[in-house]
Structure 1
Amino acid sequence: MYVLNIAGRQREYYQILLDYSLLWESALGIAAITNSRLFDTLEKKSEFERQLETMPRELSLELKYVEKNNTWKCLFQLLHSYQITSPEVNKFVAYINDLPEEELKFICLPYIGDNAQEIRKRAAQGSKESLHALKDLTSEISFFPTYIEFINQVNVAELKNHLISVFSKWYESFIHPISEELNTILKNDFENKAVMQKKMNAEEFVGWATGGISYVPEPSIQNVLLIPQLTYRPWNIESYIEGTKVFYYPVSNESINLGDRYLPNYFLIQKHKALGDEVRLRMVKLLFERDYTLQEITEKLELGKSTAHHHLKILRAATLVEVKSSKYRLRDASLNSIYKELELYLNQ
């Protein structure tokens, strides 16, 4: 079939926004240390384990509350609403404290699109019908329905006290002592990305910054916000806020060790490590043919489920594989970019 395009319409692109702050790093730390599912894959796992041993009891209790109720999500939503107008913890704490009950609940409830904003608003006001509708609309994300129910039922004064306590204690214990070094790393990455942004179109830039994520424009999404983070390396954390797709992406090795021209990009290392294993190469070849569920992969390759899941986590952490609709899928763009990334490293 032949197609002649006479519409003259160019493809729409989103606008790239860049930001960084120690406040994001604090919220990400709280999320990471309470995420038992991904904890073993984190680059900072051993550091987190040491922190757990020396952690103040009050903070440990608050983190258990976070893990039970996923209140890290509240912190992320509130930081986006606050928009980091000041990087000072006491001002963010004051912002939380001053929020009216209904507004706090509205902010904490997940954004799922412009069409659902009225449902979100009524759910924050206490409408049972809207609450159930919001839970149904978010059922694909496993923890959202119970999280939404929690936000609906929680005593707001209790929630405020918890959020202020866990955020302040985490920042004081684990961010403040290394704040100068950490801020320098984040600033380095922010400035490096700002330079490269001018040399690429929006989609190319998102793929480069995140280590291979291919993000195409979506309806009602005008902006993509990129926030560098050290805590969750090697993972990209994705989220949505009003009109904006957010990527909390892992800072590059070059930003951590500025001036070392022989230091390879983090994802370049992770991709080669992930592919340097027979089982994972077999998985890549299998997924090159089509998408598969975990059960299908274990049957095809004659692996135990725990073994298959372990190798798939490594492939996902290296941005070579993703999960869509309960099936594992090869990230073709990330796989195809390996040679270009190696070439870029050799010639830099």
Structure 2
Amino acid sequence: MDVFTMTGRKRETYDVQMVYSSLWECALGIAAVTNSRLIDTLEKPYSYWKEVKESLSEELVNQLEYVETNNTWKALLQLLHYTKNENIEAFTTHVQSLDNVRLKFLCLPFVGDRFQDVREKAAYGDERAITALKEITKENPFFPQYIEFISKSEPTELKTHLIKVMTGWYRSVVAPELEATEQILRTDYESKKEMKAKVSAEELVQWATGGIQYLPEPSVHRVLLIPQFVYRPWTIEADIEGTKVFYYPVANESIAPHDNYMPSQSLVLKHKALGDEVRLRMVKLLSECERSLQELTDQLDLGKSTIHHHLKLLRAAKIVETNQGKYSLNRNGLELLSAELEQYVNR
């Protein structure tokens, strides 16, 4: 269907803001060590996590087991969005100052502006609201159980647990490496801040997160980018009022800030992917229109296994994407290449 538009407005987008803190690293470290299903996929090997756990006090290990059972790492992340991320003492003071209902309200997940009253009633312990909130979030693998737990937990016990696990992990794991960790986070923050002046908001999000194309959506006016080292290579996505949050993995060059010759992994992957005649031909073909594997095979007169191998490299570099069996060019990913190269050369 042909559409004739008479609007003169540009499509609205979101504002990107960035923040970093060792407290985010602390909460995400707790999330990582208690995620038994994901821990083998993290960049830090299982032996690292095993060694860390063996070095902890019995009390802290018990608190971590409580986190794993009840997913209270989510509560820590939620609360940090309403805390001045100055230091662990500020976090403790803030949690202690919250009244019972406010504590539970902040810990419960945000699921949209129109459900804020349901969220508040659930914080008061209203059974119908709790059931409704669980139904709204039923597609999430852990939200319903987590909502039940938060809504019915004893506030003083919940506060004590959150403070103990956060301060315990911070002092045992984060504090000994604090200077190095903050340097990594600060370096990545400065890198993203510099790139923000060169690219669009959507391109910045895609570059920072390693390829996530987040398009503007109603009621979301801000994207918050939070660098993290402990949960690499994963990006964690979350929602708070009016804001989409991405806890994204810091770039390789941020880990070695004194090495001005260290390129980003994204830059390396893209140049490797484009450094081949067949793959460049594929990029040209996909710039014309989306194509199936069979169509690319016919056009290039190569075997399907060979074409599939080249497509795998292009997809890993975020230059090509797939949807319902069709391959297409990720133009944003390709257009970012010049900005990434310029930033690397001028760093």
TM-score range, shorter chain: 0.7 to 0.9
* Aligned 8 A contact 1:13 1:217 in 2: yes
Question: How far has the Cα of 1:38 moved from its partner?
Answer: 1.4
* Aligned 8 A contact 2:207 2:336 in 1: no
Does residue 250 of structure 1 match 2:249?
A: yes
| Equivalent-residue separation in structure 1 for 2:43 and 2:13 (angstroms) | 33
Root-mean-square deviation (CA, aligned residues, Å) is 3.5
Does residue 59 of structure 1 match 2:60?
A: yes
* Aligned 8 A contact 2:226 2:247 in 1: yes
* Aligned 8 A contact 2:318 2:333 in 1: no
Q: Which runs of 5+ in 1 are unaligned?
A: 275-287, 291-311
Deviations 1:207-242 (A, max 9, x none): 111111100011110100001100111111110000
Distance 1:99 1:342, change over 3 A: closer
| Equivalent-residue separation in structure 2 for 1:52 and 1:82 (angstroms) | 27
Deviations 1:51-77 (A, max 9, x none): 122222111111000000000000001
What is the TM-score normalised by the length of structure 1? 0.80
Deviations 1:132-177 (A, max 9, x none): 1100000110100000000122111111111000000000001111
What is the TM-score normalised by the length of structure 2? 0.80
Map 1:1-348; keep pairs closer than 5 Å: 1-45=1-45, 46-84=47-85, 87-267=86-266, 333=330, 337=334, 340=337, 344=341
Number of aligned positions between the proteins: 313
| Equivalent-residue separation in structure 2 for 1:23 and 1:48 (angstroms) | 19
Question: How far has the Cα of 1:273 moved from its partner?
Answer: 11
| Equivalent-residue separation in structure 1 for 2:38 and 2:339 (angstroms) | 28
Distance 1:170 1:320, change over 3 A: farther
Question: How far has the Cα of 1:343 moved from its partner?
Answer: 8.0
Give the letter for the 2:263 counterpart.
P
| Equivalent-residue separation in structure 2 for 1:256 and 1:204 (angstroms) | 22
| Equivalent-residue separation in structure 2 for 1:90 and 1:329 (angstroms) | 52
| Equivalent-residue separation in structure 2 for 1:328 and 1:37 (angstroms) | 29
Give the letter for the 2:238 counterpart.
S
Deviations 1:295-320 (A, max 9, x none): xxxxxxxxxxxxxxxxx9xx999879
Question: How far has the Cα of 1:181 moved from its partner?
Answer: 1.2
Question: How far has the Cα of 1:329 moved from its partner?
Answer: 11
Question: How far has the Cα of 1:81 moved from its partner?
Answer: 1.4
Select the structure of larger CA radius of gyration: 2
* Aligned 8 A contact 1:226 1:248 in 2: yes
Give the letter for the 1:333 counterpart.
N
Question: How far has the Cα of 1:342 moved from its partner?
Answer: 11
Deviations 1:73-101 (A, max 9, x none): 000010001142xx221121011111111
